[in-house]
A and B are shown apart, each in its own frame.
Chain A
Amino acid sequence: MRQPQAVWQRPAVAVDRIPDSQTGKMHCNRGTLRLLTLIIVCLSAGLGRADAPSRMGREAGKVENFLLLDHEGKSRELYRQTSARAVVLIFTTSGCPIIEKSTSTIKALRDQFASRGVVFWLVDSNTDDDAKTVREEARNFAIDLPVLLDHTQSVARSVGATRTAEAFCIEPKSWKLFYRGAIDDRLGYGTEKQHASHAYLENALNNFLAGKKIKPARTEVKGCLIHFETPVQTEQK
Chain B
Amino acid sequence: MKKIFAGVGIFLVLGVVTVALLQHFKPEALGKFSKLIGGPAAPEMKVEDFYLLDHQGRAQTLYRQSGSKAVVLISTANGCATVKEAAPKIKALRDKFAAQGVVFWMIDSNPQDDRANIAKETAQLGLDLPVLEDRAQLVATALGIGQTCDVICVNPTNWMTFYRGAIDRQLSDQKTKVRGPNNYLENALTKFLAKKTVSPNRTLAKGTPIHLALAKDSTSKPISYTAEVAPVLQKSCVPCHSPGNIGPFAMSSYEKVKSRSDTIREVLLSQRMPPWHADPHYGTFVNERGLTPEQAQTLERWVEQGSPRGDGEDPLAAHPPPPAEDWPLGKPDFIVKFPKPQEIAASGVFDYRYIPIRSPIPTNAWLRAAVVKPGNRKVVHHILVLVATPQELSSGRLRQGQAGGINGYFSAYVPGYDAVPFPEGSGKLLPAGTMLIFQVHYTADGKAETDQSEMGLYLSKEKPATELHTRSAFNVRFEIPPGEPNQETEAEYRFTKDAVLYDMSPHMHLRGSWFSFEAVYPDGKKEMLLSVPHYDFKWQHLYRLAQPKRLPAGTRLICRGAHDNSPLNADNPDPSKTVHFGDQTFNEMFIGYFNYTDAPTSGSVAKTGGGG
Query: How far apart sit A192 and B441, CA to CA, in the bound complex (Å)?
Result: 14
Bitwise interface map of B from 311 to 330 toward A, beta carbon under 8 Å scored 1, else 0: 00000000000000000000
Q: Are B272 and A189 in contact (CB under 8 A)?
A: yes
Query: How far apart sit A40 and B228, CA to CA, in the bound complex (Å)?
Result: 58
Contacts of B570 in A (CB 8 A): 188-189, 191
Q: Are B259 and A127 in contact (CB under 8 A)?
A: yes
Whether a CB of chain A sits under 8 angstroms from the CB of B260 is yes
Whether a CB of chain B sits under 8 angstroms from the CB of A21 is no
Query: How far apart sit A128 and B256, CA to CA, in the bound complex (Å)?
Result: 6
Whether a CB of chain A sits under 8 angstroms from the CB of B248 is yes
Q: Are B536 and A227 in contact (CB under 8 A)?
A: no
Q: In whole Å, how far is B416's beta carbon from the nearest beta carbon of chain A?
A: 14
Q: Are B259 and A231 in contact (CB under 8 A)?
A: no
How many interface residues does chain B have, given as a range? 35 or more
Q: Are A32 and B5 in contact (CB under 8 A)?
A: yes
Which stretch of B44-52, B366-374, B460-468, B555-563 is in the interface?
A: B44-52
Contacts of A75 in B (CB 8 A): none
Q: Are B216 and A237 in contact (CB under 8 A)?
A: yes
Contacts of A42 in B (CB 8 A): 13, 16-17, 20
Q: Are A97 and B259 in contact (CB under 8 A)?
A: no
Contacts of B348 in A (CB 8 A): 194
Q: Are A3 and B46 in contact (CB under 8 A)?
A: yes
Q: Are A49 and B24 in contact (CB under 8 A)?
A: yes
Whether a CB of chain A sits under 8 angstroms from the CB of B144 is yes
Q: Are B20 and A45 in contact (CB under 8 A)?
A: yes
Contact A225/B266 with A35-B12, A46-B19, A190-B536 known, Cβ cut-off 8 Å: yes
Q: In whole Å, how far is A180's beta carbon from the nearest beta carbon of chain B?
A: 15
Query: How far apart sit A55 and B403, CA to CA, in the bound complex (Å)?
Result: 55
| CB closest chain-B residue, reference A233 | B306
Q: Are A54 and B20 in contact (CB under 8 A)?
A: no
Whether a CB of chain B sits under 8 angstroms from the CB of A43 is yes
| CB closest chain-B residue, reference A235 | B45
Whether a CB of chain B sits under 8 angstroms from the CB of A101 is yes
Among B9, B255, B573, point to the contact of A193 (Cβ < 8 A).
Answer: B573
Q: In whole Å, how far is B560's beta carbon from the nearest beta carbon of chain A?
A: 24
Bitwise interface map of B from 249 to 261 toward A, beta carbon under 8 Å scored 1, else 0: 1100001101111
Which stretch of B94-102, B201-209, B444-452 is in the interface?
A: B444-452
Whether a CB of chain B sits under 8 angstroms from the CB of A224 is yes
Q: In whole Å, how far is A162's beta carbon from the nearest beta carbon of chain B?
A: 9
Q: Are B23 and A46 in contact (CB under 8 A)?
A: yes
Q: Are A1 and B47 in contact (CB under 8 A)?
A: yes
Contact A227/B263 with A3-B46, A100-B248, A128-B256 known, Cβ cut-off 8 Å: yes
Among A31, A49, A96, A234, point to the contact of B5 (Cβ < 8 A).
Answer: A31
Among A39, A188, A194, A224, point to the contact of B12 (Cβ < 8 A).
Answer: A39
Q: Are A103 and B346 in contact (CB under 8 A)?
A: yes
Whether a CB of chain A sits under 8 angstroms from the CB of B290 is no
Whether a CB of chain A sits under 8 angstroms from the CB of B538 is yes
Q: Are B20 and A97 in contact (CB under 8 A)?
A: no
Q: Are B272 and A190 in contact (CB under 8 A)?
A: yes
Q: Are A97 and B248 in contact (CB under 8 A)?
A: yes
A residues contacting the other copy or chain, number (CB 8 A): 53
Beta-carbon contacts under 8 Å, B45-92 to A = 45-48
Query: How far apart sit A191 and B23, CA to CA, in the bound complex (Å)?
Result: 40
Query: How far apart sit A27 and B44, CA to CA, in the bound complex (Å)?
Result: 36
Whether a CB of chain A sits under 8 angstroms from the CB of B431 is no
Bitwise interface map of B from 392 to 424 toward A, beta carbon under 8 Å scored 1, else 0: 000000000000000000000000000000000
Among B16, B143, B304, B538, point to the contact of A234 (Cβ < 8 A).
Answer: B304
Q: Are B260 and A227 in contact (CB under 8 A)?
A: yes
| CB closest chain-A residue, reference B46 | A1
Contact A225/B262 with A94-B249, A101-B444 known, Cβ cut-off 8 Å: yes
Contacts of A31 in B (CB 8 A): 5
Contact A236/B144 with A46-B16, A192-B443, A227-B261 known, Cβ cut-off 8 Å: yes
| CB closest chain-A residue, reference B569 | A191
Bitwise interface map of A from 48 to 77 toward B, beta carbon under 8 Å scored 1, else 0: 011000110000000000000000000000
Q: In whole Å, how far is A110's beta carbon from the nearest beta carbon of chain B?
A: 15
Whether a CB of chain A sits under 8 angstroms from the CB of B183 is no
Query: How far apart sit A128 and B254, CA to CA, in the bound complex (Å)?
Result: 10
Q: Are A55 and B158 in contact (CB under 8 A)?
A: yes
Q: Are B571 and A191 in contact (CB under 8 A)?
A: yes
Among A54, A104, A235, point to the contact of B346 (Cβ < 8 A).
Answer: A104
Q: Are B16 and A43 in contact (CB under 8 A)?
A: yes
Beta-carbon contacts under 8 Å, A209-237 to B = 224-227, 231-232, 234-237
Which residue, A31, A32, A95, has most C-beta atoms of chain B within 10 A? A95
Q: In whole Å, how far is B223's beta carbon from the nearest beta carbon of chain A?
A: 14
Whether a CB of chain A sits under 8 angstroms from the CB of B432 is no
Contacts of B42 in A (CB 8 A): 50
Contact A141/B446 with A101-B347, A128-B259, A227-B260 known, Cβ cut-off 8 Å: yes
Q: In whole Å, how far is A99's beta carbon from the nearest beta carbon of chain B?
A: 8
| CB closest chain-B residue, reference A29 | B6
Q: Are B263 and A1 in contact (CB under 8 A)?
A: no
Q: In whole Å, how far is B485's beta carbon from the nearest beta carbon of chain A?
A: 16
Whether a CB of chain A sits under 8 angstroms from the CB of B116 is no
Query: How far apart sit A129 and B249, CA to CA, in the bound complex (Å)?
Result: 12
Q: Are B13 and A28 in contact (CB under 8 A)?
A: yes
| CB closest chain-A residue, reference B448 | A142
Q: Are A46 and B20 in contact (CB under 8 A)?
A: yes
| CB closest chain-A residue, reference B30 | A50
Q: Are B12 and A1 in contact (CB under 8 A)?
A: no
Q: Are B48 and A1 in contact (CB under 8 A)?
A: yes
| CB closest chain-B residue, reference A192 | B349
Bitwise interface map of A from 24 to 44 toward B, beta carbon under 8 Å scored 1, else 0: 000010011001001100110
Contacts of A190 in B (CB 8 A): 272, 536, 538
Q: Are A39 and B259 in contact (CB under 8 A)?
A: no
Contacts of A3 in B (CB 8 A): 46
Bitwise interface map of A from 165 to 203 toward B, beta carbon under 8 Å scored 1, else 0: 000000000000000000000001111111000000000
Whether a CB of chain B sits under 8 angstroms from the CB of A4 is yes
Bitwise interface map of A from 122 to 163 toward B, beta carbon under 8 Å scored 1, else 0: 000011110000000000111000000000000000000000
14 contacts between A and B (CB under 8 A): A2-B304, A46-B16, A49-B20, A50-B42, A101-B347, A104-B347, A126-B259, A127-B259, A128-B259, A189-B270, A190-B536, A191-B570, A234-B304, A235-B45
7 closest A-B pairs by CB:
A95-B249, A128-B259, A231-B306, A100-B446, A46-B20, A191-B570, A225-B262
